[in-house]
Amino acid sequence: MRNIVIIGATSSIAEHCARLWTKQGDVTLTLVGRDAQRTERVAADLLIRSNYAEIRVVITDFLSPSSIKATADQIAQKGVIDIILIAHGSLPDQHDCEQDLNKAHSALEVNAISPVLFAEAFADHLAKANHGTLAMIGSVAGDRGRKSNYIYGAAKGLVTRYAQGLQHRFHNSGVRIILIKPGPTDTPMTSQIKAAGARLAPVDQVASDIVKGIESGKPVIYTPAIWQLIMSIIRHLPATIFNRLNI
């Protein structure tokens, strides 16, 4: 019986990963969310899809360090964790962030500080057990700052640097740290850019890449895989060329 913890369980990508995990066989799922009603909705659905797996719902404040710590301690107490997926996030409008520092502040909190604090809160428990995989959802946007979304990109860049640090810390141990970098994915979070005509990857494909990637243990997973190539080019463009691009 695998023990899987999902932070930000109402995120569409996380939910589709959970659906795949329930298909794979016996799991215990702990769903951590902000909104009780939305999280219970996901839990009820997974309960039916999994043919009545054990599913726990934990509601907590995602921005309070003490709540995050208490949540991690409480979950870790229930048993050895096999997989933790930290999936929450929101896509802010870059222009809004430039106009209103409160929006920039909240985007940085939700997309950078909160996931890092969750990971940090679980890291000690993983170290003690010397077991488990911690996967964080970053973004291709974190690979290089771009004028069209650099607040979000900066937050995801922070997650990238943090995950590198954790990978260093847990090198040669029983704990694995995985950073997932999805390209733009078709979820409620991206409905604004979808309405603007952007091409988005289907969420079930992204979820399937993530579940397989976590199994494989690769330290960094791009999904869809083509983004590894695209971002490699974008990272290596000299600033003189890059800064002229309208991206």
Assess 48 for contact with another protein (CB under 8 A).
yes
- Beta carbon of residue 50, minimum distance to another protein (angstroms, whole number): 10
- Beta carbon of residue 59, minimum distance to another protein (angstroms, whole number): 16
**120 or 204: whose CB is closer to another protein?**
204
**Single residue of 1, 36, 44, 80 touching another protein by CB under 8 A:** 44
Cα atoms found within 13 Å of the Cα of residue 20, Cβ hemisphere only: 18
Site residue total, another protein (CB under 8 A): 14
Assess 51 for contact with another protein (CB under 8 A).
yes
Assess 191 for contact with another protein (CB under 8 A).
yes
**Single residue of 6, 17, 29, 42 touching another protein by CB under 8 A:** 42
Residue in 116, 117, 18 with CA at minimum distance from that of residue 66: 117
**What distance separates the 2 farthest-apart alpha carbons in the chain?**
57
Assess 199 for contact with another protein (CB under 8 A).
no
Site for another protein in 209-238 (CB under 8 A): none
Assess 41 for contact with another protein (CB under 8 A).
yes
* Interface residues toward another protein, by CB under 8 A: 37-38, 41-42, 44-45, 48-49, 51, 188, 191, 194-195, 197
